[in-house]
Structure 1
Amino acid sequence: MPDHAPQPVDRQLPTDEARDLLSLVRDIVHREIAPKAAEEEEAGRFPREIFTLLSDAGLLGLVYDSEFGGGDQPYEVYLQVLEELAAARLTVGLGVSVHTLSCHALAGYGTKEQQAEHLPPMLGGGLLGAYCLSEPASGSDAASLRTKAVRDGDHGDHWVIDGTKAWITHGGVADFYTVLARTGGEGARGVTAFLVPGDAEGLSAAAPEKKMGMKGSPTAQVHFDGVRVPDSRRIGEEGQGFAIALSALDSGRLGIAACAIGVAQAALDEALAYATERRQFGRPIADFQGLRFMLADMATQIEAGRALYLSAARLRDAGRPFAKQAAMAKLLCTDAAMKVTTDAVQILGGYGYTADFPVERLMREAKVLQIVEGTNQIQRMVIARHLAGPETR
């Protein structure tokens, strides 16, 4: 494998604090994440100690209020942190994105009392979260979820949750689960959000799915068999859960976009290093125009994706609508990651198809980013609705 250190991305950051933050992230990546990424992914090992380290460093609550242990950072900065982490190991970058998503409901819709009790350990106390929306029979059609929560107790002061959630990142290893469950009638208006502790009686996880990529990140079904939670762990009003979920997904899509550009950047770095070192016909293969044009296209797609996700992030930071742009960023960035990683494998030729070089792993990982948090077909539907209004029936 070529021994090289890719040049850091020249980032536009709004403050000196943000620049120091990115330096800290790059140091952690260089010392703790990148050296073991390939070996641990091949072994399917989940790096819990890395998430503990990131929590201790204040990197698991960057976008939330410092009053509760967060970092008070704008999305513009947070997403670039995610990109750096994902470039080193997608299991870590996507894991931080999922954790941030799992904190969104409580941070945005919880009472001050709930936030004061639960957010500090979630944001900086070493806890790790999971987000439970999808089910075996409801993925893109999330409003049709069947997991139920029923009031219980003499005064209705508890809820009993029954059902199964599917495709849950950190399923079985999370310390808390943000759970969307049906408390009313059919459709979106009958859904409520709950904060469920990971050690709740009746909560269990199936064996992790055997996946094409991201083998170090556990993805599993999570079963709720008579799980009792107090009403004080209900987030928001009854029936507000689906709106809470959608607001979280808009932000989560930006996290996926940033992770995708991280994966693509890592693939470009590997391809460029190989192309400048590999010699054929007496010169580096980077001298050949066909390959040079491939590298140029890869770099252009990455820059375009980065610019789009940052533009959407700045809208969010300014308090302006950003749902359309988030869907566009998720679509463009993940499609770009798939194309760039595929081209990186092609540039490395036979070597690219082996596990001796990281580009084959990056290509496998890029695929899942076109699927999670709304498939790219769903993103196109979202964008079209913003442009032309709802579909007529």
Structure 2
Amino acid sequence: MAKLTVKDVELKGKKVLVRVDFNVPVKDGVITNDNRINAALPTIKYILENGGRAILFSHLGRVKEEADKAGKSLAPVAKALGEKLGKDVVFTGTTRGAELEEAINALADGEILLVENTRFEDIDGKKESKNDPELGKYWASLGDGIFVNDAFGTAHRAHASNVGISANVEKAVAGFLLENEIAYIQEAVEAPERPFVAILGGSKVSDKIGVIENLLTKADKVIVGGGMAYTFFKAQGYEIGNSLVEDDKLDLAKALLEKANGKLILPVDSKEANAFADYTEVKDTEDQNVDPGFLGLDAGPKTIAEFGKELAGAKTVVWNGPVGVFENPDFQAGTIGVMDAIVAQPGVKSIIGGGDSAAAAINLGYAEKFSWISTGGGASMELLEGKALPGLTALTDK
């Protein structure tokens, strides 16, 4: 990695500013999934154990007006983090001002403070989300010249709490999570052990155009599943019934198929139902055609077998997007089949690009079987697309 990391800076006695991603689901003040907190622990512990005074920044949800603040405070996160660390986490419930400054200045070596939700600054002019120069400079002034970015989930956005702080400190460095995300995803795409197979699912071709185009130049095969497969089917002249389709992307789908030179692998059948919800009939199609009055909601058994063959022998696999409506047990066989095929390959480097794919792996009990599960859906998508991430670009070069 061409950027400085947290191991490259002296931490002892320093007020160290840290951008983490604590954008966790909270219901009635209770955190329902703490994976992102756990992912930040190695960097936080390293800073504290090396005598740093950690000052953490994170957003939680979207906040556009005063009413949006309800249920968006990071107070429950401060409590949960303290329990995981076994020490008090100072929390003033403020994003700026004398109370926050005094609390920061009172920190001793090895102590930690969490700043209130950075998006609270968006209520008056989107200062956080639009990278307000004054806000980035102010937050940077709270530390001693060191900023650690460990929030991969927001690295594709230029916000005051990442790019803004980076521009106003002596050294902006990567935390362990950000370093690992880049190592696994970017290096898997740019320098993969081959054969390299990419699997792309999800509902819309339009969401993955850039990713498909980039991976067709990098991967040995690109497997396409999920709802966006039906746009490709219609472009080829198949009947798709009531399946999801982007009619304005049919020409694009044809162009991608031509450009792919046989590297784009599509499903060969579907599991179809006569409604998305409250359906009364579910069956497998004979081929790519979906029956009138039905819609494809998962990969069929022939496709699951075919995808397994295409994955045989793969040494690097990047997967982004489920291949069916995995939340429904009736339509999760395709996603499970893909996961089974990936983890069955000897010595495979298997990477999930966040989002719904990560949720599928975690919820269906496959998380421990993959080499890496990204914490950032949007950021991982932009890496797969070959784009530069502002939050990463802003860090100090080695």
Question: What is the TM-score normalised by the length of structure 2?
Answer: 0.25
Name the larger-Rg structure. Answer: 2
Question: What is the TM-score normalised by the length of structure 1?
Answer: 0.25
